[in-house]
Chain A
Amino acid sequence: MASRLLQFATPQAFFPLAGKLVPWFSVLAGALALAGLYVAFLVAPTDHQQGESYRIIFIHVPAAWMSMFLYVVMAGWAGLGLALNTRLSGMMSSAIAPTGAMFTFVALWSGALWGRPTWGAYWVWDARLTSELVLLFLYLGFIALKSAIPDPVRADRAGAILALVGVVNVPIIYFSVQWWNTLHQGASVSLTRAPSMAAAMLLGMLLMALAAWMYSIATALSRVRSIILERERDAEWVRMQRSAA
């Protein structure tokens, strides 16, 4: 079993497998997003307190979830690469980082758009938004470090160390920002504390979260294919594929 799994851990074996999986996950992502948006905009009731603007949580909350979750997954792959010295792991962490950063940015952007009608300002240093901002910096640092080191093997290992340090620090940063917010009496209405969640709202949120998952897997897999091709361009199997195409 373990050896069969390791067989797929070589870039050469993973490349066609990823290629087969990408369309499936893309279709799933699209279908789930359509269903989720339908529920979010046409089925879920209007909120009596926040009116229609609350509907942005259907984008914001899944994006915020994914942004944190993907950082952990990215660090997991990176740690695996550091421990087992598998080439694919570093490539996977490189492939996940931009999607994670994108979701972090979406969470910030949607949070700001929600803040304008609710708080009267695009940005009010709400604890969650502030943690998201720091998370975005962590993603950017990871991407910047990897792209600053020309040798891919060294870049993977250095990035892995940074991701592991980051993943230990994320909960501490999150806690410290919460702490800071209570000391300074921050915004009292939080975006994620949606009042009395109706069943339809919950369903919409779940569908959107699943869509975000499928989208993340699809983009990570298609990006890892490009990374594999770029890094293994001199390998025999890539040349054969090129001449066959």
Chain B
Amino acid sequence: MLETTALACERGGMRLFSDLGVALQAGGLLRVRGNNGSGKTTLLRTLAGLTRPAAGSVRWRGEPIGDDFRREMLFLGHAAAVKDEMTVSENLEFSSRISCLDVAESKIRDALECLGIVRLADLPARYLSQGQRKRAALARLALSASVPLWLLDEPFSALDDEAIARVSALCAAHLAAGGMVVLTSHQDIPIAAADARAIEMRG
């Protein structure tokens, strides 16, 4: 469903990768591995339609990615997109609404529960630790079961073992339900998947 053909990306005039072809079907997990600066994040941002490829194309359901694609995709980048001035639940509510997700209050609390931060729901995000902030951002996953494609940039960084287990369980459940996950990571976190693949980026 998601496929790239002869994809190439440049950063500041330097070629990061070229002639990259990946294809992902329903239930498929793709791990993107590689050293710092090898182009993992760039690849993910290109798949999300943020970065324009220098050559090649990204296709979703056979079509070049466009407005419809963004309805069926969740992208969580390096930055948590969590506002200091707003509470944890307000943050989650905004990020879900902007993604056209259901934002009933009970669902927000369930999602926070799922990441183990429901007791922080009404705390302004400026008091969160790095890991808690990451959890607040990842709570979106619990609301995004209906979104087929998840693109996650370093979802496990700054997380403790317990949170890692929760996030990998969410990913596994998503894959089991026919979703797709692409993630970059330099740790090898086990995720149960029928169709798991990995690509190694060499910068």
Give residues in A with beta carbon < 8 Å to B.
Answer: 150-153, 231, 234
Contact = CB atoms under 8 A, between A and B. Distances in A.
Given A151-B13, A153-B13, 7 more contacts: A150-B12, A151-B11, A151-B12, A152-B13, A153-B10, A231-B13, A234-B13
Nearest to B12: A151
Interface string B9-23: 011110000000000
A152 B14 CA distance: 12
Interface residues of B, number: 4
Nearest to A154: B12
Contacts of B12: 150-151
B54 to A, nearest CB: 9
Contacts of A151: 11-13
A150 B11 CA distance: 11
Most buried by B among A150, A153, A231, A234: A153
**4 A-B pairs with least C-beta separation:** A151-B12, A152-B13, A150-B12, A234-B13
Contacts of A234: 13
A153 B13 CA distance: 8
Contacts of A231: 13
A150 B12 CA distance: 8
A156 to B, nearest CB: 12
A152 B10 CA distance: 12
A231 B13 CA distance: 8
B26 to A, nearest CB: 33
B51 to A, nearest CB: 11
Nearest to A85: B52
A234 B10 CA distance: 13
A152 B54 CA distance: 14
Contacts of A150: 12
Contacts of B10: 153
A158 to B, nearest CB: 14
A233 B138 CA distance: 43
A151 B11 CA distance: 8
A105 to B, nearest CB: 32
Nearest to B11: A151
Contacts of A152: 13
A26 B129 CA distance: 65
Nearest to A157: B52
B143 to A, nearest CB: 34
9 contacts: A150-B12, A151-B11, A151-B12, A151-B13, A152-B13, A153-B10, A153-B13, A231-B13, A234-B13
Contacts of B11: 151
B10 to A, nearest CB: 8
